[in-house]
């Protein structure tokens, strides 16, 4: 499934790595708001490196999409 398909199908999508403290903070923020989200753990997917390269100009994560718009800071 492509990034575009995923972000259009879900209200909130967080592209993350399971060990990333910034990603954990982003997910905790949505948890605190009781806002459901779909977390895509890039380090747990065979295509994670390709997805990360498609998402980023740099190596920073957490990449968050709300209503198919990039909401990352």
Per-residue confidence (pLDDT) for residue 35, from 0 to 100: 93
Instruction: List CB contacts of 5: < 8 A, sequence separation 6 or more.
Output: none
Which one is predicted more confidently, 31 or 57?
A: 31
pTM check: above 0.95: no
Which one is predicted more confidently, 46 or 6?
A: 46
């Amino acid at each position: 499934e492509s990034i575009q398909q995923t972000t259009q199908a879900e209200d909130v999508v967080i592209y993350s790595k399971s060990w990333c403290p910034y990603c954990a903070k982003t997910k905790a923020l949505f948890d605190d708001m009781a806002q459901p989200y779909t977390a895509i753990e890039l380090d747990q997917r065979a295509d994670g490196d390709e997805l990360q390269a498609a998402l980023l100009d740099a190596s920073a994560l957490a990449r968050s999409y709300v209503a198919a718009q990039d909401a990352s800071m």
